[in-house]
Amino acid sequence: MSTEVHEGQILAGKFRIERVLGQGGMGVVVAATHIQLDERVALKFLLPEALGNPEAVARFAREARAAVKIKSEHVARVSDVGTLESGSPYMVMEYLEGQDLAEWVRRSGALRVADAVELLLQACEAIAEAHALGIVHRDLKPANLFVTRRMDGSPCIKVLDFGISKLTVPGSTSDMGMTRTSTVMGSPLYMSPEQMSSSRNVDQRTDIWALGIILYEVLTGRVPFEAETMPQLCGMILQDPPRSLRELRREVPEGLEWVVLRCLEKNRDARFSSVAEFAAALAPFGGQSAQRSAERIARVLGGVASGAYGPAPVVAARTGAATDGNFGGTTQTKKSRGALFIALPLGVLALGSIAFIASRKHAGGPSVEPAPSAQVATPVSAALPAVSAAPAPDVAPVAAPPTASSEPSPPRPSATSAAAPIAKGKTAPKTKPVTGAKPTPAAPTVDPLDGRQ
């Protein structure tokens, strides 16, 4: 490595190398200073041995083109490209201070739920803009999500390394010839089943799978699929269900686990269809900044806003009141509506019965005396003022059937005992003072009791 670049070396006549930030099999990233601008930058270039690989050179150029198209603050900015004296292509990127998400989890352990959600949604903002441009990242992982700080000290995610990104714009041939159908590209722990089979035949839903794996890892410190060999790992990803997230961390809301598992559906048609839908389902588990991120993502992709996503309420309804409010209806709401639909027809039938009885009474004229049960109802109401005050007169005919079984047991025996003496001494003269003592509306007096006579 020291024979390639070293501290103080001048590259392209204007960049002074300060230190090496990282190196891979094909390229190297160094911290450098732009001599004329006195600006610290990150310089990424290919190693000389990679120049003989046309595919590596083409991917390097594609990374620069993809990154410069995405204007989100959550993508490391690319400001220039060029060629070094050795013939190696290079790109100039903004210099970032901080650490990648993989290192952060390795040092600090699993993140708080709200922090994990907000950081993932920041990454989703960058990915949403990439998808809107027809770019699929294909190599999302914690090591490619860099955590830096804004001027106010708040954390900010930067998505790195679009080197194996795929352009999915119809008619584009930029990926043809570079990616054979059998070629496997990406990081196996974060690759979707379809990417395992063919890196070429993927769409934006392979990034949604990777985001689900990342969210699982930052919440638990573990990945959902762990194996000792590559074939075993591939078999697990292709066939086995992921390990339960809440078995590793019980305090994770059940609704959030549902969101993660939806990302990890083997059949990509069963996953969230877009980052906007994923963000809408995820935002309720974060704070206000998470909500704002979801709204920005929806505007970029023309998707749904947070709270508008449908299937989540079934699971989220069991996670607490706050989640219910964000997702919408609960099973209790459905039950109450069902009861309402049953009560309405009963009320109509009861009112119809009253109208029929009243019409019969009116047709009979003076010869129709009040039924004994009506005489019973009046003194009972007088004897038990607390009971008679509870139901409104208009509601009594409808409410009587469902509330009969729910009345407290003491009033019912007392009503029966009060009714017995009156029933025994049932005569016409006794009914006059009773009805005159307490004038009551006609409808409650001839309530379904008259119909039973």
Q: Which two tokens stand for residue 379?
A: 């003194």
pLDDT bin (cut points 50, 70, 90) of residue 326 is very low
Higher per-residue pLDDT: 130 or 369? 130
What is d(CA 151, CA 311) in angstroms, rounded to the nearest whole number? 39
Does the annotation count 139 as an active-site position?
yes
Q: What pLDDT sits at residue 107? A: 93
For 285-299, what is each residue's pLDDT tens digit? 999 999 999 999 999
Q: What pLDDT sits at residue 169? A: 43
Which class would CATH give 1-95? alpha beta
CATH 3.30.200.20 domain locations along the chain: 1-95
Lowest model confidence (mean pLDDT) among 97-106, 180-189, 271-280, 318-327: 318-327
Q: What pLDDT sits at residue 233? A: 93
pLDDT above 80 (res 453): no
Q: Is 5 helix (H, G, I), strand (E, B) or coil?
A: coil
What is d(CA 443, CA 437) in angstroms, rounded to the nearest whole number? 17
CATH number for the domain whose boundaries are 98-329 = 1.10.510.10
Q: Could you give the dihedral angle defined by the CA atoms of residues 223, 229, 230 and 233, in that order, rounded to the nearest 10 degrees?
A: -40
For 234-285, what is each residue's pLDDT tens digit? 999 999 999 999 999 999 999 999 999 999 999 999 999 999 999 999 999 9
Q: Is 267 exposed, middle or buried (0-12, 13-18, 19+ CB in 10 A)?
A: exposed
| Cβ 363 vs Cβ 356: under 8 Å | no
pTM of the predicted model as reported, rounded to 2 decimal places: 0.63
Burial 54-75 (b: 16+ CB within 10 A, else e): eebbebbebbbbbbbebebebb
Mean per-residue pLDDT of the chain: 72
Length of the chain as a residue count: 453
For 37-81, what is each residue's pLDDT tens digit? 999 999 999 888 888 888 888 888 888 888 888 888 999 888 888
CATH 1.10.510.10 domain locations along the chain: 98-329
Q: What pLDDT sits at residue 197? A: 84
| β 15-23/10-11 pair status | antiparallel
Tokens 């059998």 belong to residue:
182
Given 100, 139, 161, 450, which residue is catalytic? 139
Lowest model confidence (mean pLDDT) among 108-112, 113-117, 328-332: 328-332
| β 135-136/155-159 pair status | unpaired
pLDDT above 60 (res 417): no
pLDDT above 80 (res 317): no
What is d(CA 132, CA 130) in angstroms, rounded to the nearest whole number? 5
